[in-house]
A and B are shown apart, each in its own frame.
Chain A
Amino acid sequence: MIAIVDYRAGNLTSVLRAVRHLGHEAEITDDPQKIRAAERVIFPGVGAAGETMSNLRKLALDGVLRDDVFRAGKPMLGICIGVQVIFERSEENDAECLGLLPGEVRRFPARAGLKVPQIGWNSVRQARPHPIMQGVPDQAEFYFVNSYYPAPARSEMVFGVTEYGREFASVVASVNLVATQFHLEKSGQVGLRMLDNFCRWNGKPC
């Protein structure tokens, strides 16, 4: 069973639909017991960092994600806001985040010609191989909607790179955790391929 974490935001049902379409069993839940018992965990969605973190704390899920999922070695996938709250802090609402990985989340700079949020399909250069990108063409395009981008403190955590005004990390990973800034569930066949790869991944980096 795959647990899709319900933190009162985002379009969680689209992730559920995509995972089920691929033939995997999944459930949307905020129950710590179910998340602890799950084989793997997806943390999806759209939302603001500050509100997401305060919802996670209210639901007592921040500790569950940190200790019972990430540190316990369970395969964990973050999508969109899910790639942002895994860092130490975000410029959005000046929010203190989960701190699973060293680094922070920054806003795209305001300048002429650069529309914020970024909305649409952008390419991902695969900086290093990862099991969840297996079978996905290098430079394939994925669907993005974001005003903020992850800035990991260590370059070995960067697996995918995208250009929008500047280069930023669009796929980050460390041991059993992998996370994408783009929406896998809305990125057509290449997105479904990555989602399927995650649903079959044993949580080992390579």
Chain B
Amino acid sequence: MLTKRLIPCLDVRAGKVTKGVKFRGNVDIGDPVEFARMYYEEGADELVFYDITASNEGRGIMIEVVRAVAEAIYIPFSVGGGLRTLEDMRAVLLAGAEKVSVDSGAVRHPEIISQGARAFGSQCIVLSMQVQRAPVTEKIPSGWEICIDGGRTRTGLDALEWARRGEGLGAGELCVNSIDQDGTRAGYDIPLTRAMAEAVGIPVIASGGGGSAQHVYDVCTDGKADAAILASIIHRREMTIPDLKKELAGMGLPMRMNW
């Protein structure tokens, strides 16, 4: 049976792992390669790296990080943040990432999704989206709006419509980040994740708000997610991946237990 994936997410700024709350205020918490190795050995099913350095200088540092991570771990990992062109994507894939994740860049230039899918295959392209509740209007019938630029800018795009469009353009997976839940540890956004999973036929990764095994269980059952992103609770070692997996397997959620 296909298992549900637990995916640690590492925000990387200038070569260091950092963690912020509600997309504001970041503190450096360690070396990305060390984090990657630790989570790999603890049984993480996949890793996600977001490069939150916006500068070109940062880009070069990130490629070095990707290369070092690829030498250290033998599970899939994706890299996102600031990828704007096919060449940006090619560079991280050649450095050893399994997948690339596009977000604000894809909202501005949706054709990056189809170009990437054509060049590298849909399985390589994760469409990541930052979603925030909004009043229901004609333009935003679902009541969920796409935001960009670290959640700072509202776009007026309906999140479900954008998800369907992204799938049509060739995205292979969706990563749904709830701005309302991010950093709160109060649980994933179940209605949002479920609406996304029902809107598309590709796997959905839930992100934002994960603080306990129960939260992961809920979003993978009621929320119909295929995978869940974990960040602060595991980075701060308040819970570990093996503990979470044991608890989730005990609750009946299919988990990879051999690693």
Are A and B subunits of one complex? yes
- Count the A-B residue pairs with Cβ separation under 8 angstroms: how many? 82
Q: B94 contacts which chain A residues (CB < 8 A)?
A: 13
Chain B residues whose CB sits within 8 angstroms of the CB of A117 once the complex forms: 122-123, 172
Q: Which of B3, B5, B258 contacts A137 (CB 8 A)?
A: B258
Considering only CB atoms, which chain A residue lies closest to B94 in the complex? A13
Inter-chain contacts of B257 with A (CB < 8 A): 141
> Beyond A120-B226, A122-B2, A190-B259, is A13–B96 a contact (Cβ under 8 Å)?
yes
Contact A186-B75, Cβ < 8 Å, known A120-B3, A122-B2, A141-B256: yes
In Å, the complex CA distance between A189 and B73 comes to 10
> Does A103 reach chain B (CB closer than 8 Å)?
no
Interchain nearest-CB distance for A8 vs B (Å)? 12
Identity of the chain A residue whose Cβ is nearest the Cβ of B203 in the assembled complex: A119
A119 & B1 in contact (Cβ 8 Å cutoff): no
Please report the C-alpha to C-alpha distance between residue A185 and residue B76 in the assembled complex, in whole angstroms.
9
CA distance A191 to B75 in the complex (A): 9
Q: Is A47 an interface residue (CB 8 A)?
A: yes
B: number of interface residues (CB 8 Å): 32
Q: In chain B, residues 210-259, which have Cβ atoms closer than 8 Å to a Cβ of chain A? A: 226-227, 256-259
A141 engages B40 (CB within 8 Å): no
CB-CB under 8 A from A59, the residues of chain B are: none
Residue from A189, A191, A192 whose CB has the most chain B CB atoms within 10 Å: A189
Q: Are B74 and A121 in contact (CB under 8 A)?
A: no
Residues of B within 8 A of A175 (CB): none
Q: In the complex, which of the residues B98, B202, B259 contacts A186, with contact meaning CB atoms closer than 8 Å?
A: B98
Whether A145 lies near B123 (C-beta < 8 A) is yes
B20 adjacent to chain A (CB < 8 Å): no
B172 contacts across to A, CB distance below 8 A: 117, 119
Closest CB in chain B relative to A20 CB, distance in Å = 9
Return chain B residues, CB-CB under 8 Å to A163: 1
- Which residues in B have their C-beta under 8 angstroms from that of A120? 2-5, 45, 203, 226-227
Given A115-B202, A115-B226, does the pair A186, B76 have CB atoms closer than 8 Å? yes
Residue A43 interfacial (CB < 8 Å) = no
- Is B103 at the interface (CB under 8 A from chain A)? no
Q: Which residues of B contact A144 (CB under 8 A)?
A: 2
Contacts of A189 in B (CB 8 A): 74, 259
A111-153 residues with Cβ-Cβ distance < 8 A to B are 115-123, 137, 139-141, 143-145
Given contacts A11-B93, A117-B122, A188-B259, A18 and B74 within 8 Å (CB-CB):
yes
Q: Please give me the residue from chain B that is nearest to A192 by CB atom.
A: B74
Point out the residues of chain A lying under 8 angstroms from B1, CB to CB: 122-123, 163
CB neighbours of A116 from chain B (8 A):
201
Q: Which of A18, A46, A121, A141 contacts B123 (CB 8 A)?
A: A46
Residues of chain B contacted by A174 (CB below 8 angstroms): none
With contacts A163-B1, A191-B74 taken as known, whether A141 is within 8 angstroms of B98 at the C-beta atoms is no
Q: A121 to B123, alpha carbons, bound, how many Å?
A: 14
Which of A21, A115, A137, A183 meets B201, CB within 8 Å? A115
Contact B74 A185 (CB under 8 A): yes
**A29 contacts across to B, CB distance below 8 A:** none
* B71 interfacial by beta-carbon distance below 8 Å: yes
Q: Which of B4, B45, B98 has the most CB of A within 10 A?
A: B98
Is the CB–CB distance between A119 and B226 below 8 Å? yes
A121 touching B98 in the complex, CB below 8 Å, given contacts A188-B40, A190-B258:
no
A-contact bits for B188-215, CB 8 A (1 contact / 0 none): 0000000000000111000000000000
Which residues of B approach A to under 8 Å, CB–CB?
1-5, 40, 43, 45, 70-71, 74-76, 93-94, 96, 98, 121-124, 172-173, 201-203, 226-227, 256-259
